[in-house]
Amino acid sequence: MWGVIFLRHRLLAGVSTPRRMRLYNTLTRQEEPFTPLRGRTARMYTCGLTVYARGHIGNFRTFVALDVLRRTLKHVAGFDVRQVMNFTDVDDRTIVESRAAAVPLRQYTDRFIAAFGEDAASLGLESVEAYPRATDEENLRSMVEMIQALESNGHTYRSDGSVYFRIATLPAYGKLARLDHDGMKPGARVDSDRYDKDDARDFVLWKATTAEEPTWDFGVGPGRPGWHIECSAMAHRLLDGSPIDIHAGGVDLVFPHHENEIAQAEGATGRTFSRFWVHVEHLLLDEGAKMSKSLGNVFTVPDVLERGYRASALRYALLSVHYRKQLRFTWGGLDQAEEALKRITACLARLEALRGGAAHAEVAARVETARRDFDDRLAHDLNVPGGLGVLFELVRYVNTAIDAGELGRPDVAIVRAAFDGFDRVLGVIALRQAEETLADVPVDEIERLIAERRAARARRDFAAADGIRDDLDARGILLEDTPAGTRWQRK
């Protein structure tokens, strides 16, 4: 009996036993046990947006996955997290686009940093501990200090006012991307911030600038930083030196960006830059193309919301496929995400409506099993699909138990605490509830009226159907009839 009482107390308190964490490390190409190097704080650097345009949902596939990593480290593994996510606000593209818009660089990039904040809030991303900009003076100075260290260690040369990294001076160059050393081109250099995959050449650290480009001079001559040096220096400065615990980003950054980050940081310090490298696979469009701003085939978060979908459904869709597998984006997939969230919220609504009944030991035991299984799956390289399977198995059990009268009011808090625990990692239930709380017209009412309108049209009562549309329109809700059904959006 005392064991049952202790279990119920533990479940009500939301107590979770920390799990041993395993992560796939791109550097070693295998899963490895993860613990922080220094105490209980995981120090993580995330490559953020290059802010020459608004981030698209392919970018946010990465950011949502890494938000789940952050939450798992905290709520499943029991670590503290100190995370840095940068904004690249000076590179070839930001300069070109700001000049085309005839807007000063800082002012131009400000708008897209603000847009990121809006989209991140919409998708329920936790705020990280630091959001540095490359053009902040303290960051520029740290870049120059790293370049000076590289010069002292014999890894650089100068040409036409620019400073380059000589890849031939670092025998380990290419270890992250597994580059073929015979195919490298030491002595051939590249000034562009981006270049073709596997085309390994000496790369620019500090670029000579024209009179029309932003220019700084903190000790290596007038110019501006190359793309790669920015992240190496900011990670080193803001995470208290090398090695950091985790460096993360999209899989497209493995080469050249992350490879060159390693070269710079390790060439300057002589120490390992990052112990773990975590990379999130591409989001693909239905026809199989990668979503990319450079290809012009992008959807932003506002694009999705304007089609009548909610951010909670988008977050669910973006995290529902394992982060190391490609995710194919379709509107049908968003519909499925919406239905999945409705199943969860409908189950929770049934729970809250329960009145009376006794406590059931079986309920506490099933909830404890579900919580343990969920944490085990997330601790194993962020197996979110497996975790969702556990969640929906509990949904099925709860619905069945309610139908059979085998779940009483005293059990509700225990079950609810389990779903709250799942959502501390997934972040979709609280997001959905916040959306409904903020709605001027409750979501349930909108969906009820849409169903009534559909029934009116089916019986050819078009006057009633039009009346429902007009009423919703007057209250700020627009309806759109599509082959897949009626969608709605707020004005």
CB atoms within 10 A of CB 301: 25
CB atoms within 10 A of CB 120: 21
| Tokens at 83, concatenated | 């995370």
| Tokens at 372, concatenated | 């343990």
Q: How confident is the model at residue 477 (pLDDT cuts 50, 70, 90)?
A: confident
Return the residue matching tokens 């559909």: 454
The CATH class of 39-153+168-180+226-294 is alpha beta
What is the spatial distance between Cα 32 and Cα 57, in angstroms, rounded to a whole number? 29
Q: What is the pLDDT of residues 139-148, one digit of tens each?
A: 999 999 999 9
In the chain, the amino acid numbered 359 is A
Q: How confident is the model at residue 199 (pLDDT cuts 50, 70, 90)?
A: confident
Q: How confident is the model at residue 293 (pLDDT cuts 50, 70, 90)?
A: low
Q: How confident is the model at residue 6 (pLDDT cuts 50, 70, 90)?
A: very low
Q: What is the pLDDT of residue 251?
A: 97
* Closest to 119 (Cα-Cα) out of 337, 296, 298: 298
State phi, psi for 23 to the nearest 5 degrees: -130, 145
What is the spatial distance between Cα 128 and Cα 81, in angstroms, rounded to a whole number? 9
Query: Does 2 score more than 60 pLDDT?
Result: no
pTM for this predicted structure: 0.87
Q: What is the DSSP string of 36-64?
A: -SSTTEEEEEE---BTTS---HHHHHHHH
H or E segment and range at residue 329 = none
Would you say 88 and 227 are in contact if contact means Cβ atoms under 8 Å apart? Answer: yes
Would you say 26 and 278 are in contact if contact means Cβ atoms under 8 Å apart? Answer: yes
State phi, psi for 343 to the nearest 5 degrees: -60, -40
Query: Does 446 score more than 80 pLDDT?
Result: yes
